[in-house]
Amino acid sequence: MLRPEAIALVNDSRFVPPVVELGLFDYPADPVGEMRASGTHVVAFDATSIALALGDIRLGNTVMLGAIADHLPFSADDLLACVLKRFQKKGEKMVDLNRRAFEAGRAAVGEAEAAVA
């Protein structure tokens, strides 16, 4: 279901980008707080921990896709089908892991939004 307000779904794990490591940019002390202070509706959760619990940090991308799935102008089922199609050649284990990551992202956003409400 597409919601009329803007939303930022944020992995609140702190990843320091190379441009910060090189001293080219500063990393904000509280990026989530800054987004909220600007009036943005922010839903923050730890996608990295979810991915690691599933066994692979790379699943964080699929967790985030699951998180945004209910906020897009097409169905979550359509998005999931596309994600799973991408992993079919890598075998059923990867398909299952990505399905679980996607659903975990959807659940995490639901829990984070309920905690704020």
Q: Write the pLDDT tens digit of every residue in 4-15.
A: 467 888 998 888
Nearest residue to 9 (alpha-carbon basis) of 57, 82, 60? 60
Name the phi and psi angles at 9, rounded to 5.
-95, 120
pLDDT for 117 equals 66
Residue 14 structure tokens: 């702190």
Q: Write the pLDDT tens digit of every residue in 40-76.
A: 889 999 999 999 999 999 999 999 999 999 999 999 9
Portion of the chain with pLDDT greater than 90, in percent: 68
pLDDT for 27 equals 87
Are the CB atoms for 66 and 77 separated by under 8 Å? no
